[in-house]
């Protein structure tokens, strides 16, 4: 929601005219009108003062946003030797990254999705869980590890299309 919508909604909820709100907030009606139309943008302090004049309050929080595109994939590749060594110990081959990390759309809280070649029918899934724990320790992120055969049908096509080698 932008500032113009916030101001207009707060004013409407309070049942105030622009002139009434402008007076209560210590600004002019033309300035308030410019804020509501989006022609001007108030500072956070001014927006807070206007919203408080309606009897409401403004809650502004800083949230984690996307990290630099590809930063996590680069981090994985920096630790590639360690990750491949952990994979070899568990008979895992061909490590590929898919999901938000492969697309460069990861956020600070994203996990890492790895697609590997592994005979789960022969060796069970415990080595996959152990490998996920190994990689989590190496990179400090949650990790999901799967094989092509374990992927759900609706995910398989996109995962294979976007997968990039580690």
Residue 123 token pair: 């060796």
**Paired strand residues for 113:** 98, 144
% the chain with pLDDT above 70: 94
Q: pLDDT tens, 54-92?
A: 999 988 766 444 444 578 888 899 999 999 999 999 999
**How confident is the model at residue 62, as a pLDDT?**
60
Question: How far apart (Å, rounded) are the C-alpha atoms in residues 9 and 1?
Answer: 10
35-59 burial: b if 16+ Cβ within 10 Å, else e: bbeeeeebeeebbbbbbebbeeeee
What pTM does this model have? 0.58
Domains identified in the chain and CATH numbers: 3-53 (1.10.260.40), 71-165 (3.30.460.10)
Which of the four pLDDT bands, split at 50, 70 and 90, describes residue 149?
confident
In degrees and rounded to multiples of 5, residue 17 shows phi and psi of -85, 165
């Amino acid at each position: 929601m932008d500032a113009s919508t916030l101001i207009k909604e707060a004013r409407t909820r309070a049942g105030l005219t622009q002139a009434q709100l402008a007076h209560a907030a210590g600004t002019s009606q033309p300035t308030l009108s410019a804020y509501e139309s989006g022609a001007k943008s108030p500072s956070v302090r001014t927006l807070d003062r206007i919203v408080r004049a309606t009897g409401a309050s403004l809650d502004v929080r800083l949230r984690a946003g996307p990290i630099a595109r590809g930063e996590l994939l680069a981090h994985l590749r920096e630790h590639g030797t360690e990750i491949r060594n952990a994979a070899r110990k568990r008979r895992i081959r061909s490590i590929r990254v898919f999901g938000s990390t492969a697309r460069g759309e990861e956020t600070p809280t994203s996990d890492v999705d790895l697609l590997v070649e592994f005979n789960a029918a022969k060796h069970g899934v415990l080595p996959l869980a152990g490998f996920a724990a190994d990689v989590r320790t190496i990179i400090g992120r949650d990790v999901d590890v799967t094989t092509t055969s374990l992927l759900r049908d609706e995910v398989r096509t996109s995962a294979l299309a976007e997968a990039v080698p580690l």
